[in-house]
Amino acid sequence: MKVRSILVNEIAEILVSEFIGENIQIDGLIKLPNIPSVYSNFVSYCLSKEYFPELKSDKRIKALISTKEIYDNIEHKGDITYIMSNKPKEDFLKLHEYLANNTQFYNIYEFEKVIGSNFKQHPSAVIEDGVTIGDNVIVEANVVIYKGTKIGNDCIINANSVIGGTGFEVDYVDNKLRKITHVGGVTIEDNVEIGANTCIDKGLTDGDTIIGANTKIDNLVQIAHHCIIGKNVLICANAQLSGTVIVEDDCYIAPSVNIRNQVTIVKGTKIGMGAVVTKSIQKKGTYIGVPAKEMIKY
């Protein structure tokens, strides 16, 4: 099997399963639809026919792992190949773990690190191969930067931060609870500063965690896998962003804010200190409290 190329019949063989549809070529796995990626032929999974329209809306998803019951109850099945499974999510993760640990499918970061000009690295910092760093970047003491990380120009990574570490995705594979292997990356655009003791996790399967240009992140911040942070965003100390959060441009996240996974925060929004954001925010404003609600000015 070549890197980033597997046929559906090979997937079915790994999962000891059958498939319905064409024996198409797959170049990526995606857990949630519409995650940014450079790849275009994904396999995903479906747990209910109610989720099917959202999955189908991502035209890159060419194959789905689903139960026979779900398949039989889906209308307008579309140009998708279906891989039969009694446990679609567990089989999706089983496939991912097999590819990550037994094949070269995900090995796109096997290159010597690339470092730009005027780079300053503390002797205690660790930078793996498979990392790309631009010009005028400062990496302070005890920083660890894992493979799959891309850092733009004029960035500062403050002491003890970890960039591109494994996120906390824990689930059942082969009836055992385990931490899922992460194989994605992190993209940090130009003129970003990452505070001390901050952790930014890499993507789980396909796509990167992204930090937009001119964003400033304070100390002790946790940004989970597949988050997308826009440009000119300020994130203060102790903020925690769960997986696949989107923070659009020009937002302000105050200290000790918690943001639930798969939440989107619209451009220009301010989140007040200690707020807990449990739902997407689609109207620009200032939000405070638990759960976070718009602050009304009288």
105's CB contacts (< 8 A; 6+ apart) are 1, 3, 4, 5, 6, 99
**Which of 76, 122, 182, 225 is flagged as catalytic?**
225
Is 122 known to be catalytic?
no
Dist. CA 242–CA 232, nearest whole Å: 20
- Answer yes or no: are the C-beta atoms of 116 and 50 closer than 8 Å: no
Indicate the DSSP class of residue 93: H
Identify whether the C-beta of residue 50 lies closer than 8 Å to the C-beta of residue 92.
no
Secondary structure E strands in 16-103: 19-20, 25-26, 28-29, 42-45, 61-66, 81-84
Q: Crossing angle of helices 8-15/88-102, nearest 10°? A: 100
How many other CB atoms sit within 10 Å of the CB of residue 49?
16
Which residues are known catalytic residues? 225
